[in-house]
Amino acid sequence: MESSSRFSEKVAIVTGGSSGIGQAIALALAREGAKVGWTSLPADVAEGEAAFAGAGMSCAAFGGDMGDETFCERVVAETIERFGRVDLLVNNAFSFIAKATDATREDWRRSFDVGLFAYTKMAQLASASMRSVGGGAIVNVSSISAFIAQPNRWTYNAGKGAVHQVTKCMALDLGPGNIRVNSVSPGWVWTRENDKAAQYDREKYEKIWGDFCMMRRMGRTEEIAAAVTFLLSDAASFITAVDLPVDGGYQGLGPEGLGQNTRIAGTS
């Protein structure tokens, strides 16, 4: 990917940056000149650092649990100590607990601790630095799961749905400090988790899962990163409190799907 200086002199924090969508976002920011602090579970730090080993990338890795308020505080404080400020925040790390009638109180607590509560805590902490430097931008990673019913997903879908409401509230309250807050909602994307679910046979499942959206294919993590970096950039300077679906048309489909098995008026 060709590098640029769109985020030169900017400092960003990306949670869940060791793999998947988070890693793609952190790499995109670093390639475009940002200094990036990213988080992951301790066991995944080495994997993430290997991806950032390229020359010219100024990054700092933090291993810990986003459900731990003290860890959140350390990430922001040490990013500021190392790079001097925080201009941009991407809340991406989110606990995937998919339970319904079997969900325990601890399941619900964990789902929101490593999710909505971490998002709000990081925004509270990072926005203080943003105000001190004249403003900034936050992007919260949500999901198509925020908009639809899916089987056995009370916990996850409720958490992602809450991200949308808190994004709008953040945008309202942080706007006077020249801080914009938006969200993105990815659809079916090739990540490590989906690779596992597909038994590493992308050719087979590209067609199966691709039929869930108008583009007839799965999304790529780089495509989510492109949407996020746009919302973080000056090109989006008058955009706030918005959710940007990056789902290949998933949300636009009706019950007819792609129409392969349905006669639609005006077609043959």
For residue 111, the domain's CATH number is: 3.40.50.720
Q: What is the spatial distance between Cα 167 and Cα 239, in angstroms, rounded to a whole number?
A: 12
Q: What digits encode the pLDDT tens for the residues 256-266?
A: 889 877 665 55
Higher pLDDT, 215 or 266: 215
Domain hosting residue 31, numbered range: 11-186+225-246
Q: What digits encode the pLDDT tens for the residues 26-45?
A: 999 999 999 999 999 999 99
Among 68-77, 110-119, 182-191, 255-264, whose mean pLDDT is lowest?
A: 255-264
Residue type, 50: A
| 253 in any annotated domain | no
| 69 in any annotated domain | yes
| 87 in any annotated domain | yes
pLDDT at 107 > cutoff 60: yes
| 150 in any annotated domain | yes
Q: Would you name the residues annotated as active-site residues?
A: 156
pTM of the model: 0.94
- What is the rounded average pLDDT for all residues in the chain? 93
Among 17-26, 128-137, 185-194, whose mean pLDDT is lowest?
A: 185-194
Q: What is the spatial distance between Cα 173 and Cα 177, in angstroms, rounded to a whole number?
A: 8
Instruction: Give the chain's domain count.
Output: 1
CA trace torsion 127, 129, 130, 134 (10° rounding):
140
Q: Say which residue the tokens 């048309």 belong to.
A: 249
Q: Return the number of other C-beta atoms located less than 10 Å from residue 211's C-beta.
A: 15
The predicted structure's pLDDT at residue 255: 86
Higher pLDDT, 255 or 117: 117
| 90 in any annotated domain | yes
- For residue 144, the SS3 value is helix
Stated as kind and residue range, the H or E segment containing 159 is: helix 154-174
| 257 in any annotated domain | no
Q: At what angle do helices 154-174 and 105-112 cross, to 10 degrees?
A: 40
User: Nearest-CA neighbor of 181 among 226, 247, 124, 143?
Assistant: 124
| 158 in any annotated domain | yes
pLDDT at 1 > cutoff 50: no
The predicted structure's pLDDT at residue 187: 95
The predicted structure's pLDDT at residue 227: 98
| 131 in any annotated domain | yes
Among 35-49, 106-120, 170-184, 254-268, whose mean pLDDT is lowest?
A: 254-268
Average pLDDT over residues 39-54: 89
Q: Where are the alpha helices (DSSP H) in 198-250?
A: 202-210, 221-232
Band of residue 172 on the pLDDT scale cut at 50, 70, 90: very high
Q: What is the spatial distance between Cα 16 and Cα 140, in angstroms, rounded to a whole number?
A: 12
The predicted structure's pLDDT at residue 51: 86
Q: Say which residue the tokens 């879908």 belong to.
A: 157
15: DSSP letter: S
Structure tokens at 16: 């869940």
